[in-house]
Structure 1
């Protein structure tokens, strides 16, 4: 009997787990089911080929997904309705599949060919792996291993397999490691012989369900078991449980992305995200039904080429887990904090926020991926405007001077300059550190102070001492040791290292006068945001301006930061702009649903060690997730998937001289003249965001240039004239960015038989025969009406033939004007009558001459 005390304990434990493993997500979820043309419920295998197509195998056969269409290939399968349980892409790009009932097939351009029949291998294939040049290994559940080398099949059986259930395996040099229900089995391959070396001692009796060989750390293998997640180095004989990963979780599948994150599918707890620093776990997050995930039973996890996560569930279909582009952390309601005026990095993976109500510490709790925001209560009496974090010390500008906060000791020290506290009770706009470790501090109404960390004044810059303004909003020491200053009303100034102050706006070198922020990209370019004039780039010689006319969201730019690949992120009052200098492109983001609070605070921006960017807002923080990964422009290849006739799918091999496909489509397509209504289906594969792709196409031989930019991935041409055509299509991530690369297919529409050369000769021969018969019979017929009729028919046919051949050219000249056609017909009719009269007269005289000759011949014979 379950006691009340035990029930409360369980509920408490679940509550702790929910608190520990839940929280804000930087992911969105998309479920593929019958509403999206996908009927697979139990998913066993997911793989992506070299072209980018995603292949999903499960209880409804095999599907190919291109981001837009989920295509079921069962109709072309030699094993229809056979459940697909394993798949792999070989080194030469072919897809191999294994089945629940046994057997292995190869998929060649959408068509199946058996490699091993289920009669020869009547046992479930649990895993396929590619190893070396054109070598595929397959693991059966109870009947050992299969090796396929260029259609040569070798079956490696061993008595030990009959006693085990084999779930997964890996090939390493001449060794094969098999995950079984009794432990981690080691085998050695020598030629066609397989030798068992026994179980790894530390795994005996442990059910191992999955293996993942780490591609970041040499010889590291991750093992998924019925008792949690383990790590194992191949040169050692021990396995170690992953710290923080619950032992009661049954692991079914393991994958890893390029961000050093393990994705672990489980049989009973959904999907688990394991963030790593090297091989040390820094955070664990559960995606399960408790926090909105589709299912707790995961069969397969796969990370595609773009680092997107695909989860095959047992019973709920396919789930696509997308990294969100943005994440907004609301701080006003939960913490009563507003006005995030400055953000700075702290330690390795933490942030310090400067707010109206003191400092806020942002960090990750152990085994949790979402940020925790903790107000530092001992700073709540200060309204912060700018901060500089130096180790455990925060140099902080407030509305009432400068203070120094020791985060470890939780102490506050007011900073003044001896012998007179000139900064006391002044609003501090900016605090930065230069390359020498000294500080530059802007005090409203008092210019700029250059001091040592000890507080000793190095220099003072204000109007009384010849400086150009006392209200400096931006200070930036660049990579070369120069210091840039920006003010409102008087613009930009520069203090070169070892040189004299230059007033760039005053001297009309820089055209803007209201400067908000200054930053620098890795290539040395200086970026200057302004209040009303957009943003400027200085390359060492010239200033280039970017404004709303160039695509910027607004000319009022409050903050700017450079991401890890040199893209410039600009914060505005109503959103964010992204400048991609390598392509001279600008993208904008201003939808509150994706950004949350959209008003970026002046100078409130920073980038963490992962490359994420944080913009401070009046009511919280907007995070730009991995901008160097999520927003980079990718070069993709466009695939022409199919050609449809009259909108209907057809077997294109009927229009080809080839027995099988060399590519997705035949390369020698020829269509009859009356099958000239052709639709081209094409796609550039972006599994994460297929709607972000733009297309242009043209049909060489029909179109004069590229089509308008559009997002639809098909093109239809009707009533194509006979001839040879080449269809070209190209894609882009941005409607203004196009290059000369395209995908093309050439085909031919045949001429109708009446336009073929042999039919022209046949017509001419027929007309010639009629004329010759008329000429031949005219000398033998006595009936002049018959002769005249034959002549008329012959001449009419000849004239009608000439008229028919000339009509297209006459129509081009006349523009199909009826009166012109009538005039042409009248001219032909007028020509027909005199020619017929003359020919009839000639043939009549010829007939008389022939008759006279006959009579003369008869007379001569009588006389003789």
Structure 2
């Protein structure tokens, strides 16, 4: 019987041994190269600013995507071995330690809130419930309650007799994972805690980890030494432990769920497992272990960050980042001798059909296997399949040489659909098949125009040139949301069939400028996107056509296929790569590196979007999947953090330049530097853990710069020889160098003026000069020696002249520059300004001299 069944299967399908390996992910392991020495990772969390915090065997680490910053006992943590981390709702980081005790990070400083002596047992879990109460779970001494940032042990006698691993609170009930099973505790209105008992079916099983599903708050996932289980913990039930079929033989150490509702399970010896669920049962497993080139089989902790990156803590192999790839190419020619993927169609979430030059290919995931399997339908090997459309139990196939074929999936029967009339001697090449809004079919056959068929394949209307249609070679058809039918052809361009039967020849009537149309699509806003051969891409908003071409940033003006992702972004396939149009931001991005895409060429009109939002492009030698483009390629606005200010490239204690006693923010906000500390470097970062090198920055120093700086990917900025004054440093980030939002971080500071430029010193100088003149005048009134008087007056005048010249010299240089003749002219002008003073003094001295002579003459006459 088995032999007969196997024979039948082999007749129906030709199996290809094509797997995807770790497929849609790249793996990055963090070690010494990132200044990361921890090899045993106990916990991973992300704070509100985006920093990743790691509890490791040698201390606490903070990671910003590029730099690992290490903290240990010297930084006021209780111990070096951090076993539990939690970020509370108010943004504070709480830490639990291997030797007991809990601390909180406040204002960049650590404060102990529970000493190891008060609870001398390893802290395995820190948890915040829906009432915003914080709880700690120790391995041997029970619960810890944390309120008002103070911690106190909670006595539960039963917990002192067990080894406790994990904690979840659901309404008035605690679930505690222990070495003897899943224990339930009751918490009453007075906050008294008492045991209920073990969950049915859990006693005798070591429960290592718990995970409350954010997508279904009535489901609790339970990881044990005996596999993965779940509880539906409603109010009226005591809970029953249910096994997850397909995940029984695992020693589970950690559980999490990503934004796509995929369950991730870490195990003690079997690596990491990705589980896709149906009705809480595993129907597809992907294994990441050493046999699949994953760095470790011993998983200790799991965390999903805001960008859906999977972070894996291991025992012995440090930290691993599971980075979802942007693209994945499935090469089919070498492994399966499949050529020319002309069309793709997703039948359901696990089944795809590929129209190829070697026949119809079925691609699917087998249950409990982590590979994508490709099967050629043997009966179709004689056909070169050009198009696919699946409706119910039937697949409509367009072929290169046999016209239209209807395939009954259940009966494995093929029926050739004879379209009548078909001109004798013309090709039976089916160029396009599409389903209309009413369930009817639109079929384009080379040289024969377009056939409008009902759901059984019966002809409704035939459109060709004999009946007044604009062309018989139609390459693409789109039924739009308004009930119109768009047609694209080569040489004669675009036409539109309206619901009332009127046909508008848009290119012929010079409404649409391009003549060669390859593909047409429509986005959720109703905008029509038209891919042309040689004229770029056009959009139509109902009134106007707008063009995107190479000058706009498009990779090429030859556009083979176009599709819209779930975020409204436009993907265009070319012969040498892909273009992404993010029209909401006015951006066009290009992807054309073979190492990134695997295969750069997109076959004309061979593109499809699946139910998960992935976009598939057919290639001459396989298919390329654009993985979750609506998530991975969307523009994200991130905060930029100014991390530090350095003087002459050296780190300093910034509190010495501030009146603050502690750091309320990352940096003091009232920094004052003296005039010599005018060489300043700013360190900043915007956190993109998925692609830290894909961040672009612009900065501006108000008071120094008039414009934003050129775009840079470096996360530091240095300013030298800054003049005294008030400054504000601004920094902004972007995923794309041509798009900048209004969001920026800023920090103000002051460079103090030197004492000789302060107002009081100017006042002192002026007072001294006035005093000098007064003294000179008083002395000259008493001294009879004209030489002394003249000397004192001219010394005073020289001092005043030099003072004014020194003060005005920067202004003079700014006008005259370094040209000698201009400097002489400027000095001459200054001398001419001071000439009246000199003349009055000279007149005064002459008068003084004449008076002195007259007095001398009078004295002689008298004598």
What's the TM-score once normalised by structure 2's chain length?
Answer: 0.92
Cα 1:277–1:636 shift into 2, 3 Å: farther
Question: Kindly tell me: are residues 213 and 21 of structure 1, through their superposed partners in 2, closer, same or farther at Cα, counting changes over 3 Å?
Answer: farther
Say yes or no: does 1:359 pair with 2:336: no
How many residues are treated as equivalent by the alignment? 835
Q: CA RMSD in A?
A: 2.8
Distance change >3 Å, CA 480–CA 780, structure 1 → 2: closer
Change (3 A) 1:639 1:840: same
State the secondary structure of the residue aligned to 1:800: helix
Q: 1:772, CA displacement in angstroms?
A: 3.9
Measured in 1, the distance between the counterparts of 2:556 and 2:459 equals 39
2:216 alignment partner in structure 1: 217
- Conserved? CA contact 1:402–1:423, under 8 Å: no
- Map residues 588-627 of structure 1 onto 2, 5 A cutoff: 588-627=590-629
User: Aligned pair 1:258/2:259, yes or no?
Assistant: yes
CA distance in 1 between partners of 2:308 and 2:381 (Å): 42
Partner residue in 1 for 2:677: 675
State the shift of 1:164 in Å.
Answer: 1.5
Q: Which moved more, 1:348-357 or 1:793-802?
A: 793-802
Which residue number in structure 1 is paired with residue 377 of structure 2? 376
| Structure 1 residues 783 and 262, CA gap change in structure 2 (3 angstroms) | same
How far did 1:674 drift?
Answer: 0.9
Instruction: Deviation per CA, 1:78-117: give whole Å up to 9, x if none.
Output: 1376211111111111111111222222112432222223
In 2, Cα distance between the equivalents of 1:524 and 1:570?
18
TM-aligned CA deviation for residue 197 of structure 1: 2.1
Query: How far has the Cα of 1:465 moved from its partner?
Result: 1.6
How big is the shift at 1:616?
A: 0.8
Identify unmatched segments of 5+ residues in structure 1. Answer: 1-18, 853-864
Q: Which residue among 502, 507, 512 is the counterpart of 1:505?
A: 507
Cα contact 2:18–2:372 (8 A) shared by 1: no
In 1, the alpha carbon distance for the partners of 2:26 and 2:691 equals 12
Please point out which of 22, 30, 33 is paired with 1:32: 30
Q: Alpha carbons of 1:81 and 1:156: their partners in 2 closer, same or farther (altered >3 Å)?
A: closer
Instruction: Give per-residue Cα distances to partners, 1:111-153, cap 9 Å, x unaligned.
Output: 2222223333332211111224653211111122222222233
Where does residue 345 of structure 1 map in the other structure? 346
Alignment of 1:232 with 2:231, yes or no, is yes
Which residue number corresponds to residue 160 of structure 2? 162
* CA distance in 2 between partners of 1:758 and 1:188 (Å): 73
Paired residues for 1:90-239 under 5 Å: 90-132=88-130, 135-190=133-188, 191=190, 193-235=192-234, 236=237, 237-239=239-241
For the residue of structure 1 that corresponds to 2:651, the secondary structure is: coil
- Deviation of 1:36 after TM superposition, in Å, equals 1.2
Residue 388 of structure 1 corresponds to: 389
State how far apart, in whole Å, the 1-side matches of 2:792 and 2:411 are. Answer: 122
How many angstroms does 1:781 deviate by?
6.1
Trace 1:335-734 onto structure 2 (pairs within 5 A). Answer: 335-398=336-399, 399-417=401-419, 426-734=428-736
SS of the residue 2:584 aligns to:
coil
Q: Compared with structure 1, are the counterparts of its residues 670 and 851 closer, same or farther at alpha carbon in structure 2 (3 Å cutoff)?
A: farther
Residues 697-743 of structure 1, C-alpha deviations (whole Å, 9 max, x = no match): 11111111111122112111111111111111111111111232222
Distance 1:460 1:755, change over 3 A: same
Change (3 A) 1:783 1:627: same
Separation in structure 2 between the aligned mates of residue 480 and residue 291 of structure 1, nearest angstrom: 49
Q: 1: distance between equivalents of 2:406 and 2:149?
A: 73
2:300 maps to 1:299: yes
Which residue of structure 2 lines up, in the alignment, with residue 79 of structure 1? 77
The separation in 2 between residues aligned to 1:409 and 1:48, in whole angstroms, is: 53
Deviation at 1:499, TM superposition (A): 2.5
SS at match of 1:98: strand
- Name the SS for the 2:201 alignment partner: helix
**Structure 1's 759 and 117: CA in aligned 2 closer, same or farther, altered over 3 A?**
farther
Q: Distance in 1 between matches of 2:696 and 2:634?
A: 16
Corresponding residue for 1:289? 290
Question: CA 1:96–1:850 in structure 2 vs 1: closer, same or farther (change >3 Å)?
Answer: farther
Matching residue of 2:319: 318
CA contact (8 A) 1:416 1:455 kept: no
Report if aligned partners of 1:402, 1:424 keep a CA contact under 8 Å in 2.
no
- Map Cα deviations across residues 778-827 of structure 1 (whole Å, 9 max, x no partner): 56667766655544443333332222222222222221333444566677
C-alpha separation between the residues in 1 aligned to 2:130 and 2:216? 20
SS at match of 2:650: coil
Q: Secondary structure at the match of 1:221?
A: strand
Instruction: Name the stretch that deviates more: 255-264 or 396-405.
Output: 396-405
CA contact (8 A) 1:558 1:573 kept: yes
- SS across alignment from 1:122: coil
The answer to whether the 8 A contact 1:520-1:526 is kept is yes
8 Å CA contact 1:76, 1:112 repeated in 2: no
Q: Distance in 2 between matches of 1:695 and 1:93?
A: 26
1:546-581 deviation per Cα after TM superposition (whole angstroms, max 9, x unaligned): 111111111111111111121111111111111122
Q: TM-score, normalised by structure 1?
A: 0.92
Contact 1:135–1:150 (Cα < 8 Å) also in 2: no
**CA contact 2:262–2:276 (8 Å) conserved in 1:** yes
Q: Quick check: 2:427–2:446 contact (8 Å CA) kept in 1? A: no
Distance 1:542 1:76, change over 3 A: farther
Instruction: Note the alpha carbon deviations across 1:493-524, whole angstroms, 9 max, x for none.
Output: 11111222221111111111111112211211
Q: Is residue 737 of structure 2 the alignment partner of residue 735 of structure 1?
A: yes
Could you tell me how far 1:400 is from its partner in structure 2?
Answer: 2.0
Distance between the aligned counterparts of 2:495 and 2:420, measured in 1?
28
| Partner of residue 54, structure 2 | 56
The whole-number CA distance in structure 2 between the counterparts of 1:754 and 1:75 is 47
CA distance in 1, matches of 2:786, 2:371: 108
What per-residue deviation string (whole Å, max 9, x for no partner) do you get for residues 458-495 of structure 1?
11111122111111111222222221111111111111
Cα distance in structure 1, aligned partners of 2:479 and 2:586 = 26
Q: Tell me which residue corresponds to 2:6.
A: none
C-alpha separation in 2, matches of 1:776 and 1:81: 78
